[in-house]
Structure 1
Amino acid sequence: MRTDIMGVGFDDLTLDEAAEKGAALLREEGFHYVVTPNPEIVDRARREEPFRQALNGADLVLPDGIGIVYAARLLGRPLKGRCPGIDLAGRLMAHMAESGERLYLLGAKPGVAEAAARNLEEKYPGLTICGTHDGYFKEDAPVVEAIRASGADAVFVCLGAPKQEYWMIEHGPATGAKLMAGLGGSLDVFAGVARRAPEAWQKLGLEWLYRLLREPRRIGRMARLPLFLVEAAAVRLKGGGDRG
């Protein structure tokens, strides 16, 4: 049973458990997709019913941001912890490198996915990245056909929310891939275009602050985090907490 956090149902899993579930989905028949909402995404989903349905319809819904974990505590529905999409991707790639499954990278600016592919194949010996495509395409059909022709088992879809979630739902089955994961800006990190917060900041749940210090223009978006927590506390006070 999922844990409801402001209208989005999250799977209460550790990162290792989530990776095991993702690997299991790769072995199953049919198409599956994974989403990793943060507070900004959940906030948008509260206002947009189709987006909320897209998130809740995923095979795995994982808490990417520390704000989701804090909100869960405020609501009296504590989660086991964060499952950042970029960390889930790392565990899945390690698994795929051993099992021989094929990965396709979709998204980011031209050239970024290719650079990410080179770095990832070096980091995960045995990993097969069978194709890449940037996120600046105007027609979906050629991209779908490229993925199908590549024989990809999994696709990391990095188009930003909510585009990536809608794209996975609409086009995922036609690609022949078994698993897609919406991973936002992860390709920029894999390519070395963007830097992730140091591990110490990650452990303290302060990646958001690190990104804000490096990109002050994000202040408007980051301001939603305390408001999101205030809203979660208000829901608890109104008696909307303690329900899974």
Structure 2
Amino acid sequence: MPHFLKNSTYIFLLITLLACAPTQLAQQEQLNAIEPITETHTVSTEELQNVLAEFEKLDQQHNTSWKFEQVPDKIIPLSAIEPWTLQVRELQENTTDKATKHLLDARLAMLRSQAAQYAMFSFGEQGNLAMVQQGKQYKVIETIDCDDAPTIIKTAEIRGESYDSWVDFYVNMDYVLMSSKKAKELLGTGVNNRTKYYYNPGIAPTLKILQATQKALKEQCNITVDLLSERINKQEKRPEGYIPEV
């Protein structure tokens, strides 16, 4: 992965993130629509098949493999994020099936998460702190140049945005996989092995990394920053059973 991207690329990524991010009202509507599933639902097989066929075409056009993407380890090329986003938004306009809508929401969320990863790269090593894992927690192991604090904070905020989008992906994809047996068959995976393609632990420790970052900034630079409370509150508002176990 590149360690530095030009400012123009960073600006493009911000525009992309804003363009494909749902509004606050839309996010709340999505949240209200996602309820714990106690029984399977009728799924429009035709709509779901059509969308999956379009996904396959996009994979071929942009040399991607959407089923096997993982954040941050296996993300698609930067050049593929914008065309994928535009095509998925077009598909949304002609979709009425609930499960298929959640699949499209999941795809956009994954694209947002990956775009944020590239935005993080634009800050290079200056914005990323060296850490080690100690048990279930993380600890910063470098001496911080406090002049770099604004860059460190911005990088951490974007890391959090990437994580938020990944959680949105997780929630929406879980809905699709649990909506019907037919949906699971069409997606090529079952409940017992759905983690194989769609869920990845690589980004899962983000909250602990953010916690270590704000602790180190306080201890070394006497800078207080809150990178967690809004994120935790958002997860607590999700329906029970739809928060990733990380």
TM-score by length of 1: 0.25
Kindly indicate which of the two structures has a greater share of residues assigned to helix: 2
Kindly indicate which of the two structures has a greater share of residues assigned to strand: 1
TM-score by length of 2: 0.25
